Amino acid sequence: MAESDAKKPLENEADFGGPKFSPTVCEQRYRFVIDAVKKQKAARVADFGCAEARLLRRLKTLESVEYLAGVDIRVTSIDTGHLTPNPVEWMIKDRPRPLQIQLFKGSVSHPDSRLFNLDLVSCIELVEHLDADVLADLPHSLFGQMQPRLVIVSTPNSDFNVLFPNFQGRRHWDHKFEWSRSEFRDWAGNVVEKYNYDVTFTGVGEGMKGAAERYGYCSQIAIFTRTTPDPIETETYQNKLNPYECVFDQPFPYQNSAFSQGEKLSSEIQYLVPMLARDTADDVDPQHLRDSVQVSIPIERFLNYRKASELCDGNIDTLRKMIAADCAEFVQLSSDGNAILYSVQRRSWDSADENDGGENDNTVVCPSSIDSEEEECWE
């Protein structure tokens, strides 16, 4: 999400006192984007600064969505198991239309032709994390080159900060700035003056009755709508410039879909590995004292699962070859080919994901995961 590589503890919003929000402002932002996708019946959607892909997890359940992209600047920890079909989805195939999810390592300051002319793009609490040069390049990259039909940008409203009596500094250690309502409107006005977009303003997180009228919303939102029915074919699109690194690519089964045996096994392995890795990590470090544990999962364990066993005809040599051929992007085989090596972070055991309503985060570090900053969740 942020362009900075610094790692510092998050400020605790409870220390600042003041308004409380129900649901949290973080949840309200997610719901705002979800409602917009539903209203627009958007099929192709991207989230820049996707962090741990919590928004993508929610969007993948929407009937209109056929393509989801998450983009972030660094690759570290994400639980891709939340973004892969589970065994029931493979068997039932009840989606009426196809779905593909891709995660990219890249910066919003560089356009990528694969994300040209999307239906909707969200930049949720992203811009305030960007260094000045990246922020300066964002409008040309996003609005001038990739040209989505609708763009939702949210950012903290500094006018609202006076309602937090114990507040000092900024709401998050990595914020390079926090705009007032007038500063945000000036920035958005420069965008629409230069590119083919209109803009309207709203927000989430009123805090208390009448507060929004005087101070605005806790999180202010600009909705940019392209004014032309079709985008202009830019040099990025014409030259097929693709600077982003695709680190995760997952198709979903749907009615009348056909997938190869290798594709089905790949999805099954992605679903099973995080679960087996966490079980094994408990055996290696039962007291949860280490920050991370590398575990070795014997591939013969996958034969205990009916779907995986059926896909390789119950033959361990066939399973080994299929894993090497179809799963190399997200798992690593041991040197003898008899086990999958996987690294599990400690918070996979210990942390509950409050932003997902108490769902256990179970984050696993893997080669095909996108970077995440812990998300601010102002209450």
pLDDT above 60 for 255: yes
The answer to whether the pTM exceeds 0.85 is: no
pLDDT at 121: 98
Predicted pLDDT of residue 211: 76
List the structure tokens of 92.
């039932």
Task: State pLDDT tens for residues 166-202.
Answer: 788 898 899 999 999 999 999 999 999 999 999 999 9
Q: Which span out of 22-31, 219-228, 251-260 was modeled with the highest average pLDDT?
A: 219-228
Given this model, what pLDDT does residue 55 score?
Answer: 95
Cβ within 8 Å of residue 146, ≥6 positions away? 111, 112, 115, 116, 117, 118, 121, 236
**Does residue 189 or residue 63 have the better pLDDT?**
189
| Core vs surface per residue 341-356: b (16+ CB within 10 A) or e | ebbbbbbbbeeebebb
Statement: residue 22 has pLDDT above 90: no
Residue 291: its pLDDT value, please? 67
194 phi and psi angles, rounded to 5 deg: -95, -30
Instruction: Name the band, by pLDDT with cuts 50, 70 and 90, for residue 364.
Output: very low
Give the rounded distance of the alpha carbon of 310 from its chain centre. 32
Return the minimum-mean-pLDDT range out of 8-12, 247-251, 346-350, 369-373: 369-373
Find the range with the poorest average confidence among 273-287, 341-355, 363-377: 363-377
Average pLDDT over residues 52-65: 93
pLDDT of residue 81: 76
* The pLDDT of residue 61 is above 50: yes
Contact 362, 271 (CB under 8 A): no
Helices (H), 66-210: 87-92, 132-139, 181-194
Instruction: Report the distance separating Cα 102 and Cα 72, nearest Å.
Output: 12
User: What's residue 77's pLDDT?
Assistant: 62
Q: Is the pLDDT of residue 18 over 90?
A: no
Tens-place pLDDT, residues 104-155: 999 999 999 999 999 999 999 999 999 999 999 999 999 999 999 999 999 9
Residue with tokens 């609202």: 160
Domain ranges of the chain: 13-246, 259-365
**pLDDT over 60 at 96, yes or no:** yes
Encoded amino acid at 332, one letter: Q
* Residues 6+ away with beta carbon under 8 Å from 4: 129, 131, 174
Give the per-residue pLDDT at 16.
61
What is residue 7's predicted lDDT score, i.e. its pLDDT? 37
| CA distances in angstroms from 347 to 5, 146, 283, listed in the order given | 20, 36, 16
On the question of a cis peptide bond just before residue 23, with omega within 30 degrees of 0, the verdict is yes
Q: How confident is the model at residue 326 (pLDDT cuts 50, 70, 90)?
A: confident
Identify any residues that bridge with 176 across adjacent strands, giving them in sequence order: none
* Cβ proximity of 89 and 252 under 8 Å: yes
Homologous superfamily of domain range 13-246: Vaccinia Virus protein VP39 (3.40.50.150)
| Residue 5 binned pLDDT confidence (cut-offs 50, 70, 90) | very low
Give the percent of the chain with pLDDT over 90.
51
> What value does the mean pLDDT take over residues 20-30?
91
Q: Mean pLDDT in the chain?
A: 83
- CB contact at 8 A, 8 and 33: no
Helix, coil or strand: residue 30: helix
| Choice among 79-83, 199-203, 263-267 with the minimum mean pLDDT | 79-83
Number of DSSP helices (H) and strands (E) in the chain, helices first: 11, 14
Within 70-180, where are the H helices? 87-92, 132-139
